[in-house]
Amino acid sequence: MQNVRKLGEDTWYIGANDRKISLFEGVYPLENGISYNSYVILDEKTVLMDTADEAVSRIFMENLAGVLNGRALDIIVINHMEPDHCAALGLVLQKYPEAKLFGTMQVKNLIAQFHGTDVTDRFTAVKENDTLSTGRHQLRFFTAPMVHWPEVMVTYDETDHVLYSADAFGLFGALSGNLYADTCSLWTEGLSEARRYYTNIVGRYGMQVQALLKKASALDISMICPLHGPVIRRDFGYYIDLYDKWSRYAYEDNAVAIFYGSIYGGTENACEILAAHLAEKGIRDIRLYDVARTHFSYLVAEAFRCQALVFAAPTKDAALFPPMELLLTEIKHKGLAGRTVGLIENGSWGPMAGKLMGAYFENLKDIDMLSKTVTIRSAMNEAGREELAAMAEEIAGKLLP
Ligand SMILES: Cc1cc2nc3c(=O)[nH]c(=O)nc-3n(C[C@H](O)[C@H](O)[C@H](O)COP(=O)(O)O)c2cc1C
Ligand SMILES: [Fe+2]
Ligand SMILES: [Fe+2]
């Protein structure tokens, strides 16, 4: 049974939720599923904006047929070819063979690769600023390469001032009836999930997101329709500010995140002591994370949020503790910049973790390394405590006004 929602005079939401999914993109745990959004404009010509994931393809196809209500599908706009939005495209192409496709140049090849379908005779490659009239609506296309994939574009409906923003302004978490960001708490209460979505999915492409924000700032926007999560229809400044901050790699809070790995507890003990010293110095937002127990995607999001980051790990076979290696690889891969970074290493015969962890920051921009790596040889002792006190003092000096 179809489940579609009216968004405007002749525009509809036809997306669907997947709450059975445990790992998005095969790696990111989801606590409350995710929505795959898709939209239809019933103009003189009928327009479908992106499709949906395979997991929801049945309800999606019912929604599409329901909203078309016997009309033909004339136009499919493809803003993003990733399978979470295009798996159902294969079904749509079969069921609506007359529909014409619009997308950036790369889209045609991606359709051939993913669906084995040659769409040459019904595909129009669009360029930056191209327009398409569908009757009452005039659509304008803006390319947004690497916001998340190279073929991405966003579509601006000049008639109703709606921005179809692809993966931008999406979040993790299924919708629960309420479709608008201002009628549900997904963004406000669940800001950490919006941040985790942005930082892990799009986080590497800050520069490209900045370019998209610049284009969007010239538009008169009354609604943002992303491919995941709620539709945004007011308080645009709140969301744009967050995206601006995240894509500039600016921290949100004067907070300290301490990421540690520990085999026997020595490194963990050091981190607890450091946290206590930081608290004594008056720092209130301190978070300790065991990197082996918290999925890296939550830690990457915290690294984006916090001003100061401390990494602490034992040496393991003259190498790094594996979950720490994974976290640092991800942080480096995102191109995080502008953080205060401290290192604590541990080792019983040849500690090397400090040097190995430090290497991840060598090519990141504006990293303020603390003056001294704290070295522990097995378990904490008095000398170590003093070094941690000094580290806390140095961090406090940078965080507190
Ligand atoms: C499999 C394994 C390999 C290790 N390799 C090294 C090493 O290469 N160099 C070193 O100094 N210590 C090595 N250690 C020792 C630990 O780094 C050391 O005991 C450290 O104090 C553990 O810290 P923790 O109490 O936080 O687990 C190794 C320990 C294990 C279990
Ligand atoms: Fe994507
Ligand atoms: Fe997506």
If you take atom 28 of ligand 1, which residue's CA is the nearest one? 316
For a mutational test of ligand 1's pocket, the pick from 262, 290, 291, 346, i.e. the residue with the most ligand atoms closer than 8 A to its C-beta, is 346
Residue recorded with tokens 């190279």 = 150
Check residue 22 and give its pLDDT.
96
pLDDT at site 176? 96
Cα 67 to ligand 3 centroid, rounded to whole Å: 23
Round to whole Å and give the CA distance between 51 and 86. Answer: 5
Q: Which atom of ligand 1 is nearest to the CA of 315?
A: 17
Q: Where are the domains of the chain?
A: 5-247, 255-399
Closest ligand 1 atom to Cα of 347:
11
- 314 in contact with ligand 1, CB cutoff 6 A: yes
Query: Is residue 375 a contact partner of residue 357, using CB atoms and an 8 Å limit?
Result: no
Q: Rounded distance, CA 76 to CA 79, Å?
A: 10
Residue 272 burial (10 A CB sphere; 0-12, 13-18, 19+): middle
Which pLDDT score is estimated for 146?
96
Closest atom, ligand 1, to C-alpha of 260: 26
- Whether ligand 1 lies within 6 angstroms of the CB of 260 is answered as no
| Nearest ligand for residue 80 CA | 2
Q: Is 315 in the pocket of ligand 1 (CB under 6 A)?
A: yes
Cβ of 318 less than 6 Å from ligand 1: yes
- Which ligand 1 atom is nearest residue 314's CA? 17
At 190 the pLDDT is 81
Mark the residues whose beta carbon lies below 5 A from ion ligand 3.
84, 167
CB 316 less than 6 A from any atom of ligand 1: yes
pLDDT of residue 401: 76
Q: For residue 374, how far is its CA from the centre of ligand 1 (angstroms)? A: 16
Q: Taking a C-beta distance cutoff of 8 angstroms, is the pair 330, 303 a contact? A: no
pLDDT at residue 188, as a whole number: 85
HSE of 19, CA atoms in CB hemisphere, 13 A: 4
| Ordered per-residue pLDDT tens for the chain, 401 residues | 899 999 999 999 999 999 999 999 999 999 999 999 999 999 999 999 999 999 999 999 999 999 999 999 999 999 999 999 999 999 999 999 999 999 999 999 999 999 999 999 999 999 999 999 999 999 999 999 999 999 999 999 999 999 999 999 999 999 999 999 999 999 988 889 999 999 999 999 999 999 999 999 999 999 999 999 999 999 999 999 999 999 999 999 999 999 999 999 999 999 999 999 999 999 999 999 999 999 999 999 999 999 999 999 999 999 999 999 999 999 999 999 999 999 999 999 999 999 999 999 999 999 999 999 999 999 999 999 999 999 999 999 999 87
- For domain 5-247, the CATH superfamily is Ribonuclease Z/Hydroxyacylglutathione hydrolase-like (3.60.15.10)
pLDDT of residue 359: 98
- Interhelix angle 296-305/322-334, rounded to 10 degrees, is 50
- Other Cβ atoms less than 10 A from the Cβ of 58: the count is 13
Going by alpha carbons, the residue nearest to atom 27 of ligand 1 is: 263
* Fold of the CATH domain 255-399: Rossmann fold (3.40.50)
Q: What is the pLDDT of residue 400?
A: 84
Looking from the CA of residue 268, the nearest atom of ligand 1 is 26
| Probe target for ligand 1 pocket from 273, 315, 380, with the most ligand atoms within 8 Å of CB | 315
CA–centroid distance, residue 153 to ligand 1 (Å): 49
Contact call for residues 229 and 178 (beta carbons, < 8 A): no
